[in-house]
Amino acid sequence: MIVALVLFSAFLHAAWNALLKREADKDRTLIAAVGVGTLFAIVVAAGRAVATRVPPFETGAAVGWALVAGVFEQVYFLTLARALDRGPLGPVYTISRGGAVLLVYPLSVAIFAEAMTSLSVAGSALVLAGLVISDWRFGRATGLPLHATLWALVCAAAIAFYHLAYKAALARGGGPSAVFAVSLSVSTAISLVRTGGEGRGAAAQLLRTSPAKVVLMGMLSGGSFLILIEALARGGAGFVLTLRNTSVLFALILAWFIGERPRLATALGAVLVAIGAALMTR
């Protein structure tokens, strides 16, 4: 069951990233879409609390880690927009998601005592090889631009740290939907402050002119993260994030549908990342 949940989350995540890539103003679009996702998350968390009569947070530490996750979520959204502004979906997605695996897996072993096996080490090596190959012509005009690569790497770090913060919040008694609702609310609040009146106005204008598109992106994003955090509540952080990063294959396929033609190196790199991720779940 957990594998099916994570794979479905992976598809939804790749889908909203593909939609974002087509937008001219990615930062403002993200603010509007994530705002919709935040409302969705709050409704789900409130409904769950009423239905189950279980407190959303058992400890203050769980709330604290949810707040930390929200800060890293904001860094993730910001750097994702910057990376997609400067490079194609395929390699940006592969570097950001694969790079997160390389950070999360050893940290989850050290912090949460998750198991490390010979297959997981071999999988890590394949993921690393896939990242290198996907950006083989580093810095050249025909490869991923340097700025896109750097933003994707920062994005990878943000992904890794918000996953670890999620897991810490859950381990200290946070309910999955409540943790996500708090985290996304923090991220949205930072976005609204960061962009000021101009950014808020642009996001509101997007909601007025393209409500269906923004709501779809918000629901895909929110649904993807909600399913992910439910899976995190049932499995290890390293296992869940690693399996979810098979989404690089979904992203590669969706890149074709939005008009991109990934290079052979990008495709091969994505395949290696996916295979390595699968090995790391063994």
Confidence bin at 141 (pLDDT 50/70/90): very low
Q: Which residue has the tokens 């909601």?
A: 207
Contact 277, 129 (CB under 8 A): no
Higher pLDDT, 123 or 19: 19
User: CA torsion sign, 8 to 160 to 56 to 184?
Assistant: negative
Judged against a pLDDT cut of 50, whether residue 140 lies above it is answered with: no
State the pLDDT confidence band at 143, using cuts at 50, 70 and 90.
Answer: low
Residue 139, sorted as left (phi over 0), alpha (psi -120 to 50) or beta, turns out to be left
Q: What is the pLDDT of residues 59-91, one digit of tens each?
A: 999 999 999 999 999 999 999 999 999 988 888
- Work out the average pLDDT over 179-187: 95
Residue 216: its pLDDT value, please? Answer: 94
Residue length of the chain: 282
Distances (CA, A) of 119 to 124, 158, 182: 9, 26, 36
Q: Where are the alpha helices (H) located in 53-171, listed in sequence order?
A: 60-86, 89-112, 118-134, 146-171
CA distance 72 to 70: 5
SS3 content of the chain, % helix, strand, coil (to 5): 85, 0, 15
Of the pLDDT bands very low, low, confident and very high (cuts 50, 70, 90), residue 99 is confident
Spatial contact of 54 and 175, defined as CB atoms under 8 Å apart: yes
Backbone φ and ψ of 69, nearest 5°: -60, -40
Would you place residue 133 in the very low, low, confident or very high pLDDT band (cuts 50, 70, 90)? confident
Give the highest mean pLDDT range of 107-111, 190-194, 265-269, 273-277.
190-194
Q: For tokens 């309910």, what's the residue?
A: 175
DSSP state of 174: B
Q: How confident is the model at residue 138 (pLDDT cuts 50, 70, 90)?
A: very low
- How much is the pLDDT for 255? 86
Q: Tell me what the mean pLDDT of segment 18-39 comes to.
A: 91
- The packing angle between helices 237-244 and 264-280, to 10°, is 150
Residue 122 CB burial class (10 angstroms; 0-12, 13-18, ≥19):
middle
pLDDT by residue (tens digit) across 163-181? 899 989 999 999 989 999 9
In the prediction, which pLDDT does 59 show? Answer: 96
Cα separation of the two ends of the chain = 16
pLDDT of residue 139: 44
Answer with the residue of higher pLDDT: 154 or 262.
Answer: 154
Banded model confidence at residue 142, pLDDT cuts 50, 70, 90: very low
What confidence category does residue 46 fall into, taking pLDDT thresholds of 50, 70 and 90?
A: very high
Three-state DSSP class for residue 114: coil
